[in-house]
Amino acid sequence: MFGSFDISTSALCAQRVRLDTIASNIANVDSVKGADGTNQPYRRVFPVFSAQRKDGGTGVGVEKVVEDQADFSKRFEPGNQLADAQGYVQYPNVNLSTEYINALEASRAYEANVTAIETTKGMISSTLRLLA
């Protein structure tokens, strides 16, 4: 009876992870130096979802969070201390337009799952009223 709640709840958790990774990508859009002090820029991350069975029901879960292996963008900045021999500085492979669209999509999916939970709650409540 509560399987639909479990499905929607697992989807809410998955979309929250997705929004967290998007926020991380946006926050690090100009991080040209790694946290460990290396000259390796931030690499975009994103979650990989998969169907998961839990307690006899099916839902969605985050299988893993992976780094995007796309090439870094390069900008010609010969005066920058992080520039290579040709004068280029590597910047993260984060595209703000893509991240904003992904954030919009994730927030809409989150809202849809909240609506599904509310609808299920209303159906259960109506059923209990009919039986009582």
Answer whether residue 55 shows pLDDT above 80.
no
Q: What percent of the chain has pLDDT over 70?
A: 96
Assess if residue 89 is contained within a domain.
Answer: no
Q: Which of 43, 87, 95, 94 is nearest to 65 (CA)?
A: 43
**58 or 118, which is more confident?**
118
Only one residue has tokens 């500085």, namely: 89
Assess if residue 64 is contained within a domain.
Answer: yes
Assess if residue 54 is contained within a domain.
Answer: yes
Assess if residue 113 is contained within a domain.
Answer: yes
Assess if residue 77 is contained within a domain.
Answer: no
Distance CA 124, CA 86 (A): 66
Structural domain span for residue 41: 3-70+96-131
CA atoms within 13 A of residue 96's CA, in its CB half-sphere: 6
Assess if residue 78 is contained within a domain.
Answer: no
In the predicted model, what is the mean pLDDT of the chain?
Answer: 90
- At 27, the pLDDT band (50, 70, 90 cuts) reads very high
125 burial level (CB within 10 Å; 0-12, 13-18, 19+): exposed
Answer whether residue 1 shows pLDDT above 60.
no
Average pLDDT in the 66-94 region?
92
Domains contained in the chain, number = 1
Q: Which of 109, 2, 10, 110 is nearest to 59 (CA)?
A: 10
Answer whether residue 30 shows pLDDT above 60.
yes
Q: What percent of the chain has pLDDT over 90?
A: 64
Assess if residue 38 is contained within a domain.
Answer: yes
The whole-number pLDDT of residue 2 equals: 60
3-state secondary structure 21-84: HHHHHHHCCCCCCCCCCCCCCCCCEEEEEEEEEECCEEEEEEEEEEECCCCCEEEECCCCCCCC
Assess if residue 21 is contained within a domain.
Answer: yes
The whole-number pLDDT of residue 109 equals: 94
Question: Token pair of 91, please?
Answer: 């910047």
The whole-number pLDDT of residue 56 equals: 64
